[in-house]
Amino acid sequence: MNYIKTTFLLAALTALFMGMGYLLGGTSGMIMALIFAAGMNVFSWWNSDKMVLRMNGAHPVDETSAPELYALVRQLSQRAGLPMPKVYVMETDQPNAFATGRNPQHAAVAVTTGIMRALNKEELAGVLAHELSHIKHRDTLIMTITATIAGAISMLANFAMFFGGGRDSRNNPLGFIGVLLMMILAPMAAMLVQMAISRTREYAADREGAMICGHPEWLARALEKIEAAAHAIPNPRAEAHPEMAHLFIVNPLTGQGMDNLFSTHPNTENRVRALMELAREMRGAGGGADMASAPVPRKDRYSRPDDYYAGGGSRSGPWSRAGKSNPPRGPWG
């Protein structure tokens, strides 16, 4: 049912984009919009992972530089029946994570340095399982395409006054009033559709992720911690690209200025409530298989600030000299 709803909403978003093309240029404008939308979708399908990772300043890690994180992703991937995705780390204090990639064979999971310090190993396993669920069901591709079309609709709305407001209404069936309404209503409609798609996929990923790690309460605790910190700790790169905020497990925007308009996440309290209900159902059914401890080949380069500096990490990140005297402790040290 969720996939039917998502398909319907994506079709509505594409139809909205084509409708804008029709208002700007009549039938020819609608055809151009359709061609443009198809081109954007192909570009997003092929380049979504690279684009999103670059925008968020993520850099790759492996079992040498981050053995505990890498081993945990590998173990959860095996439980989910997925190929091992690439693993990335983002240098920011804000605890958060996202997944990207056009399919499970070309996927990546990215976590912030803040989340590795804020969560224990069980909670981080819940978060990673949630992100792997997005990969398993190809939500990463759906959400990237959604963001691309929504961004294009906003772009068309900005150009509408210049290209659709002239006296000649032959290519603009509704004239100036239609253009004005389009400028105001189209971005709002696109935002609402984007929010609806995101909410649908987040609830589904919460449930599937809980099944992968075997303990819904792990993810529930993680969501509560991330939600509390995300609104207090800014993520500059996410603030600069709010159209990508829906990719994160919890809204990374602090709500400053107009950024709250891009909030596409369901209410965290509702997500936690649903997860705890699932935990009760699993206990009643005798579910909730424990995860074996992930192997740790060697000490993680992200274990402590001094180890991070020794490994060549940036001093301007979350473990800067300003916080070196009393660093936060997390599952890595």
Task: Supply the residues annotated as catalytic.
Answer: 131
- Round to whole Å and give the CA distance between 245 and 259: 10
- Round to whole Å and give the CA distance between 49 and 43: 11
Token pair, residue 328, equals: 């936060």
Residue 232, judged by CB atoms within 10 A of its CB (0-12, 13-18, 19+), counts as exposed
Whether residue 187 contacts residue 153, with contact meaning beta carbons closer than 8 Å, is answered with yes
- Round to whole Å and give the CA distance between 239 and 289: 38
Please report how many Cα atoms fall inside a 13 Å half-sphere around the Cα of residue 281, on the Cβ side: 10
138 C-beta neighbours (distance < 10 Å), count: 16
Token pair, residue 107, equals: 């996927």
Whether residue 71 contacts residue 92, with contact meaning beta carbons closer than 8 Å, is answered with no
Please report how many Cα atoms fall inside a 13 Å half-sphere around the Cα of residue 6, on the Cβ side: 20
In this structure, the dihedral spanned by the alpha carbons of residues 246, 250, 255 and 258, taken in order and rounded to 10 degrees, is 0
- Measured between its terminal Cα atoms, the distance across the chain in Å is 43
Token pair, residue 18, equals: 């084509």
β-pairing verdict for 97-101 and 86-90 = unpaired
- Round to whole Å and give the CA distance between 241 and 253: 10
